Amino acid sequence: MRRIFFYTTLLFVLMAQYPQVSFAEKRNLIFTVCKINPSDVPNDTPQRTIMMMPSVAIDEYELFFSDSHPSYIIRLENEDEYVVFEQSIPEDVLQLEIPLELKGDYKLILFQGKRMFISNITL
């Protein structure tokens, strides 16, 4: 019984020492996928492979990527489809901060190879 009390107390002390952002505060983004240039190959046959959708969460002005993600090029477009932010995301980057001066509704686009993944965000 003392062991259980000790380990429970230790767990609560460690949680107080090392607070982390709760998953409840992050919002997972839902993406749609498109080909970058579908007119390049009009007779392209559909792929029969399983495609991994990006796993990205947002918390205010910070994006969180999954541990094992491919490299992306990220782009933010405003409602007029004007590019307001673009950056390359290497495989080892797990967090990205969006510039604080951006406010409003944006289209977040992740480019990977011949595919682009699109999600709408509000900052």
> Would you state the CATH architecture of domain 21-122?
Sandwich (2.60)
The predicted model scores a pTM of: 0.70
Residue extents of the structural domains in the chain: 21-122
Cα–Cα distance for residue pair 116/6, rounded to 1 Å = 51
CA distances for 95 relative to 50, 60, 61, 115, angstroms: 26, 12, 10, 22
Helix/strand/coil for 112: strand
Please name every residue paired with 47 in a beta bridge, in sequence order, or none if there are none: none
Provide the pLDDT for residue 20: 53
Buried b (16+ CB within 10 A) or exposed e, 16-44: eeeeeeeeeebeebebeeeeeeeeeeeee
Provide the pLDDT for residue 9: 76
Provide the pLDDT for residue 38: 59
What residues in the chain have per-residue pLDDT under 70? 10-24, 38-51
pLDDT tens-place string over residues 69-96: 899 999 999 999 999 999 999 999 999 9
